[in-house]
Amino acid sequence: MDKKKRLRKIKRELPLHLMLLPGIVVVFIFHYIPLAGIVIAFQRFVPAKGLFGEQQWIGLGNFEYLFSLSNTFNVIKNTVTIAVSKIVLSLVITILTALLLNELTNLRFKKVVQTVIYFPHFVSWIILSPILIDLLSPSSGIINQLLGYFGLGPYFFLGDNRYFQGTMIVTDIWKGFGYGTIVYLASIASVDQNLYEAAAIDGAGRLRQAWHVTLPGMRGIIALKVLLSIGDIFNAGFDQIYNMYSPVVYKTGDVLSTMIYRMGLQGGQYGPAAAAGLAQALIQSFLVCIAYYLAYKLFDYKLF
């Protein structure tokens, strides 16, 4: 009887298992095999012999080589500086924008602003970079012309080590701040309306209400966003930097992902590049684990 029941259960569940099969196969080939392929980091890798081929093992040789390079620490510093600035500043600006949008009483205007500021998120850096390169040009760029009216500049935003990082940070925030407000606006919308009435009765104006009611109402989502962004501390944004930097600004603009690409796929140094990739992946997954763990403990946040 019990056996019969089990058999029925298996028969009923079988289609579900079969549905998972394609996903399992794809993930196995394109995630788990490359994950095992990280052994390249410990080899003097010759592509012709192939992944898992008869390669020469050199232990930590690739890592030693990486740390013997003079610019490795500089690259790490650039990566963290750019990434952390982007995270912190975009958080502040996004939340501020969400609060300001919430204060608009003309809903039509609000809708137009939202539609326009969400848009850059959907446009690739391939398209945005040449536009920004034009607009930021020291000779003919509109931004420098504008600054010229105030007696400033011209600044070579993309070709001067003093400004390159700042330009990356500002343009990245510009691309994403609008889109980022969506989640915050949702949490604002879910704030209990009675709280506003109560605050108004207590004599709080709209600004005080924003400070004492709206912002505390967003506390949960803000904390969660901060936590989850920990995983991005070593991710400075390859697409953006790769398409806007040049050898002149490698000193401040070269980051881990761009270095790995140049070293590995352009320079053919597969071993050292994979070693740098492994180091980055390990730190990043460590941070992501901490982030998820804390998010789960503090906010009962579960991905699955």
Footprint (CB under 8 A) of another protein, residues 62-101 = 97, 100-101
HEC assignment per residue over the chain: CHHHHHHHHHHHHHHHHHHHHHHHHHHHHHHHHHHHHHHHHHEECCHHHCCCCCCEECCCHHHHHHHHCCCHHHHHHHHHHHHHHHHHHHHHHHHHHHHHHHHCCCHHHHHHHHHHHHHHHHCCHHHHHHHHHHHCCCCCCHHHHHHHHCCCCCCCCCCCCCCHHHHHHHHHHHHHHHHHHHHHHHHHHCCCHHHHHHHHHCCCCHHHHHHHHHHHHCHHHHHHHHHHHHHHCCCCCHHHHHHHCCHHHHHHHCCHHHHHHHHHHHCCCHHHHHHHHHHHHHHHHHHHHHHHHHHHHHHCCCCC
Q: Can residue 113 be called a binding residue for another protein (CB under 8 A)? A: yes
Q: State yes or no: residue 134 binds another protein (CB under 8 A).
A: yes
Nearer to another protein, 17 or 162 (CB): 17
Q: Binder to another protein among 7, 60, 127, 152 (CB under 8 A)?
A: 127
Decide if 44 contacts 56 (C-beta within 8 A).
yes
- Start-to-end Cα distance in the chain: 34
Binding residue count for another protein, defined by CB under 8 A: 93
Considering the complex, what minimum distance in angstroms separates the CB of residue 17 from another protein?
Answer: 7
Torsions phi, psi for 50 (to 5 deg): 85, 165
Q: Is residue 37 a contact point for another protein (CB under 8 A)?
A: yes
Q: Is 135 in the site for another protein (CB under 8 A)?
A: yes
- Under 8 Å between Cβ of 25 and 235: no
Is 109 among the residues that bind another protein (CB under 8 A)? yes
Stretch in the footprint of another protein (CB under 8 A) among 30-38, 73-81, 148-156, 159-167: 30-38
Binding mask 237-266 for another protein (x = CB under 8 A): -xx---x-------------x--xx--xx-
Q: Does 296 bind another protein (CB under 8 A)?
A: no
Region of 10-18, 72-80, 84-92, 160-168 interacting with another protein (CB under 8 A): 10-18
Which range in 73-81, 150-158, 160-168, 267-275 contacts another protein by CB under 8 A? 267-275
Q: Which two tokens stand for residue 265?
A: 């796929």
- Residue 173 touching another protein (CB under 8 A): no
Angle at 44 between CA 42 and CA 48, to 5 degrees: 120
Task: Please select the residue that binds another protein; options are 16, 57, 59, 68, rule is CB under 8 A.
Answer: 16
Which of 176, 252 has the CB closer to another protein?
176
Among 1, 3, 22, 70, indicate the residue that binds another protein (CB under 8 A).
22
Q: Is 34 in the site for another protein (CB under 8 A)?
A: yes
Q: Residue 88 or residue 265: which is nearer to another protein going by CB?
A: 265
The nearer residue to another protein, 80 or 120, going by C-beta atoms, is 120
Q: How far is the CB of 70 from another protein (least distance, A)?
A: 22
Q: 238, 229, 119: which is closest to 182 by C-alpha?
A: 119
Q: Which two tokens stand for residue 3?
A: 């056996």
Residues 196-215 contacting another protein, CB under 8 A:
205-207
The single residue among 130, 148, 216, 267 that binds another protein, judged by CB under 8 A, is 130
Contact between 232 and another protein by CB under 8 A: the answer reads: no
Shortest spacing between CB 292 and another protein, in angstroms: 8
